[in-house]
Structure 1
Amino acid sequence: MSDLIIVGDCGGTNTRLSLWEIPTSFTDKPKRTEKAPGTLVFDKKYLNEKHTDFVSVVKLFIEESSSSTTPMAACLACAGPIINNTGICNQE
């Protein structure tokens, strides 16, 4: 058994998202010298100026991944400052 997670780097210019399949049996934190567990399923880079908001980018990413399974979690590194909880830093 495995779960899917989304990992992302959401900058002011680009949003890079990747979908990873992680074994559900994995419960231990990896040591510093170890690679995190999992298999890359899909990844893509999006130019933010071509999208109206972050939610539309994530929806497109999930659609393009062709995964029939809903991701269980996400870990995102996002540029700031966020304006009114809706804007990406250098995007209107």
Structure 2
Amino acid sequence: MQSESDMSEYDEKKFVLPKSTKDLKACQQCGMVLTVEQWNREVECPNSCNASQTKLFSGMICVLKPSQSWVIRKLGNPKSIHPGLYAIDVQAD
């Protein structure tokens, strides 16, 4: 069991995953991947990005602990993102 001092604020964030592999869209700012249905239910991106979504993306990675992810640093995304599935390359519509 982890002590409170060992837990990071990112461990407490909700893990967000697409519910299927069909009709996926990525946030144009942070790259989070969700289904069209999930995006339609969300008021905004779970990472509070105000960007629109696109189907034009390639590659995906699963981020479990954003604060410790070298991939997130390499992609230039902030460390304060939610754990979840992210596109590696996102293109504008």
TM-score range, shorter chain: under 0.3
Bigger Rg, structure 1 or 2: 1
> TM-score, normalised to structure 2's length?
0.27
Name the one with the larger strand percent: 1
Normalized against structure 1, the TM-score is what?
0.27
Larger fraction in helix: 2
